[in-house]
A = this chain, B = another copy of it.
Amino acid sequence: MQLPRPSGLITLLTDFGARDPYVGIMKGIIKRHHARADVVDLCHEVPPQALRVGALFLGAAVGRFPTGTIHVAVVDPGVGTARRFLCAYRHECFWVGPDNGLLEPALPAGEAGELRAVDAKALQLEPQSATFHGRDVFAPLAGLLASQRLGFRAVGPRIDDPVRLPASTRAEVVCVDRFGNLITNVAASRVAPGITVGIAGRKIPLRATYADGRPGEIIALVNSFDLLEIAQCQGDASQALGAGAGAAVELE
């Protein structure tokens, strides 16, 4: 498989929030390794340690960035322990993050993609701290890849046993967005026309867009992530239904 060259664009997805300088410092380290890196925030408000939400957001980036983008993801409850650092190539982009399931949308499937474990020792990227591997490992690794001084296939050995997220066993709300919309794990392909969606003891009609209901009406629709979403027209569905992440969803 022929790989594209890194484009110089690096995205960051973390659960660090905006309250502290953690993200800013990661950008400084990236720039120390590649001054011309173009760093874009994908999202930093993943709920603390919420791997499934992080994976959902990463998945939303697939196909939306230029070929050769390096996506760095740090939601890392195991920081400081011996878990591996991963580097993947898939969907024409590079993906960097801890081996804990977060990189789910970037893991190889069949012939598609390639996955490597980062040999931090050989690359002289052994962590200086026990708490901030975003700064000590992931940021310099991304900078080195973007600078093309380090090639993807030189980061470490190929592996095929990444940690996976536990499979979802039921339809449920994964997260609530800023507007109070409930984003579920139900793929658009499972949403047949005419179905009714059950949540919190209510039956919700399927519509095409937010503006297709009366003000205050609660509707279901396929959202821009190609997932089933439950929204309140001109309102906050999470508040109106008293439902949030983890709430069960039924399709009828």
Contacts and interface: CB of A to CB of B under 8 A. Distances in A.
A239 interface: no
Contacts of A43: 18-21, 24
A129 interface: yes
Contact of A19 (B45, B128, B131): B45
A246 interface: no
Contact of A178 (B9, B48, B57, B135): B48
A201 to B, nearest CB: 25
A130 B208 contact: yes
A5 to B, nearest CB: 12
Interface residues of A, number: 64
Interface of A: 7, 9, 11, 13, 15-25, 27-29, 31-32, 35, 38-45, 48-49, 57, 60-61, 64-66, 69, 77-81, 128-132, 135-136, 177-179, 208-212, 221-224, 229, 234
Contacts of A15: 178
A61 B28 CA distance: 8
A64 B32 contact: yes
A251 to B, nearest CB: 20
Contacts of A177: 19-20, 22
10 contacts: A7-B35, A9-B35, A21-B57, A24-B42, A25-B42, A28-B65, A77-B210, A77-B211, A79-B210, A130-B210
B61 A31 contact: no
A224 B57 contact: no
A65 B49 CA distance: 27
A178 to B, nearest CB: 4
B211 A21 contact: no
Contacts of A28: 11, 40, 61, 64-66, 69
Contacts of A57: 20-21
Given A43-B21, A64-B25, A16 B210 contact: no
A41 B129 CA distance: 23
A211 B209 CA distance: 44
Nearest to A135: B224
